Structure formats: structure tokens, C-alpha cells
Amino acid sequence: MRTALISDIHANLEALQAVLAHIDGQRVDRIVCLGDIIGYGPDPVACVDIVAKRCEFALMGNHDFAALYEPTNFNQVAEQAAYWTRFQLESEASPDEARRRWSFLNSLRVRVARDRDFSEPTAADPASRYPYLCVHGSPRRPINEYIFPDDGDRSQTKMASIFDRFEHVCLVGHTHCPGVFMESAAGDGDGDRVYEFYPPTELDGARYQIVPGTKVILNPGSVGQPRDGFVEASYAILDTDPAREGIIEFHRLPYDVQTTVDKIKRIPEINDWLGERLLQGK
């Protein structure tokens, strides 16, 4: 089973279309969105419609939550973009279409625990364990907590608490930085654990094979707003063929960034900086 993992689209239609075109040529069985369909970008309505149509399921990101409820703890730029996004979703000419979109956003789940091939657990095995946990932020705070690439160096306590909250593999978004967090034993032999982050550029062929009995956090990066210094859209494919434990493949794709930037500049309610940073990947 091959599952395309997309996340943090942020209403960037050009990036989403480029990623989906690539996915369509990759023998993918399903697409899963790990949150933040909207926010920041100029095309929230189109992106919501596409995700609702193409994804098997999508998670609630903090910007999706902000449009539905309130943009709590947002800076002024993000807050203003959230209110503009809400207005776009509310101002749909067809009331039925508007209700359909709000209903879809309201149905986004906070966390999804699935078995190895992402199918639902069966009634015949209610005690079965679910190796794959999907959240937007972290297992501790599924919508809002960031797991930054340098957290393994900055806060072993934070990482230990996060890794304690899932069984085998956790799929996250939110930081817009693709890569793999691995847990391993410390070299001093006293039973402590260490947590290391590897971006795709440090993985052989931008691929990582999941090892049985280990814990990893996988982040596919951001479709619509990369923040790892690369401009290209990012997504990943998780291959859970029964013959092996699982392989994650990371992909980077060019898209028409300037068109997205120009769209943002034409919207007074969205700060130009939200477009300009797309040109720098930050």
C-alpha cells in the first residue's frame, strides 16, 4: 500500500496542483492530508475543495482550527490572514456550497490511529494495536505543538515525552520541515534515549526504511509553504508493503511560486511578506 502524505498546503493552489500531478504518476493508492489546508495563502476555497475530493482523510491543523473558531496565539499577520480566509469561505455565492465546505472543515479529525496499511481496525480484533499515529502537531498536543528539527538537541525531556505517546510510527506536519526523527539508545549504556533529526538531504536517496521495533516521527514537509530553505513544494510517500516494515520517500517539486506571490500581493488583507517568504523557503 502506497500512501501519499501531504501537509501544510496553506491555500497555495499552484503548489497543490504540482504535487497532485506528481502523485498521479507515482502508483499511489491513497492520499492523506496532515492538516493546514488553509491559512496564509490566496486560494482557500479551491484548496478545500480539492482536498475534500482527493484525500482519504485530512487532519485538523491550527490554521484550519483558526478559520473554524478563533486564531488563538497567532501573530497579527497570521490572524489577519485567518479572518480573510474565513470571509472567503463565508462569502460563497451558493449557500449549499458554503455549508458543504464548512461541514468538511468541521469533520477534520484531530488524530487518527491506523494499522499498518492504514485500514480501519476490524471488529474481529478489537485489541489490535495501531502502529501508525497521524497528527498535525505532536502526539501531546495534536493541533498546536511543534516538533522542531533541533528539538533533539534542545530538549531531550520534551522529545522523550512525545515519543512515549505513540507505539511505532508517528506522522506529523506543522513545522514545514521534512525529515525523520529517530529514537535510539544513548552511547553511555545507562538506558537513556537520544533523539536525532535527519532531513531528506541526509538520507540515502531521500528515503528511509522503517526498522521494526523502533520509534520514528516522519514529517513530509509543506506543500504550500516550505520553511527549510528550499522553495520547492514537499511531500512524501509511505510504502507499507507487507513484505517490509515500511519505506518513506521524500519528494521536492518546483511550482509556479511567482504566481502565488502575485496573488497574495493583490489581496490587501494578506501581508506581502507571506508571499515574499515563499521565494526564500522560510
Q: Domain count of the chain?
A: 1
The range of the structural domain enclosing residue 134 comes to 2-279
**pLDDT of res. 184:** 81
Task: Say how far residue 157 (Cα) sits from the centre of its chain.
Answer: 24
Q: Does 122 score more than 50 pLDDT? A: no
Confidence of residue 125 (pLDDT cuts 50, 70, 90): very low
**pLDDT of res. 118:** 55
**pLDDT of res. 241:** 74
**pLDDT of res. 225:** 96
Q: Does 64 score more than 90 pLDDT? A: yes
**Model confidence over 192-241: pLDDT tens digits?**
788 999 999 999 999 999 988 889 999 999 999 999 999 999 999 999 87
Q: Does 243 score more than 90 pLDDT? A: no
**pLDDT of res. 63:** 97
- Name the percent of the chain lying above pLDDT 70: 90
- b/e string for 12-33 if b means 16 or more Cβ within 10 A? bbbbbbbbbebbeeeebeebbb
The CATH code of the domain that includes 161 is 3.60.21.10
Cell of 177: 520541515
- Alpha-carbon distance of 111 to 28, in angstroms, equals 22
**Model confidence over 104-120: pLDDT tens digits?**
999 999 999 875 555 55
